């Protein structure tokens, strides 16, 4: 994780703890995906459109 490599971790959280903080504070309606490359086609099949 780039934050850990840059030393930006004032709370001294571990990698899993930082990931949990990010996922626990998503805005309502946001969709967290493990990787966008494989996810976009699945969303397109469900009727979503990808716009750059």
Task: Give a yes or no: residue 52 inside a domain.
Answer: no
Domain count, the chain: 1
pLDDT for 1? 65
- Please write the tens of the pLDDT for every residue from 1-52: 677 788 888 889 998 998 898 889 999 988 887 777 888 888 889 998 877 6
pLDDT for 5? 83
pLDDT for 30? 85
What is the domain range of residue 14?
2-45
Q: Which residue is listed with tokens 């009727």?
A: 47
Contact predicate 18/3, CB 8 Å: yes
Q: How many residues does the chain have?
A: 52
Q: What are phi and psi of 35, to 5 degrees?
A: -170, 130
Task: Give a yes or no: residue 7 inside a domain.
Answer: yes
Task: Give a yes or no: residue 50 inside a domain.
Answer: no
pLDDT for 35? 77
DSSP code of 34?
A: S
pLDDT for 33? 79
Strands (E), 1-52: none
Task: Give a yes or no: residue 23 inside a domain.
Answer: yes
Task: Compute the distance between CA of residue 27 and CA of residue 21 in angstroms, rounded to an integer.
Answer: 12
pLDDT for 46? 92
């Amino acid at each position: 994780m780039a934050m850990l490599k840059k030393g930006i971790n004032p709370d001294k959280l571990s990698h899993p703890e930082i990931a949990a903080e990010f996922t626990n504070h998503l805005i309502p309606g946001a969709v967290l995906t493990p990787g966008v490359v494989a996810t976009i086609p699945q969303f397109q099949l469900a009727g979503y459109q990808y716009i750059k």
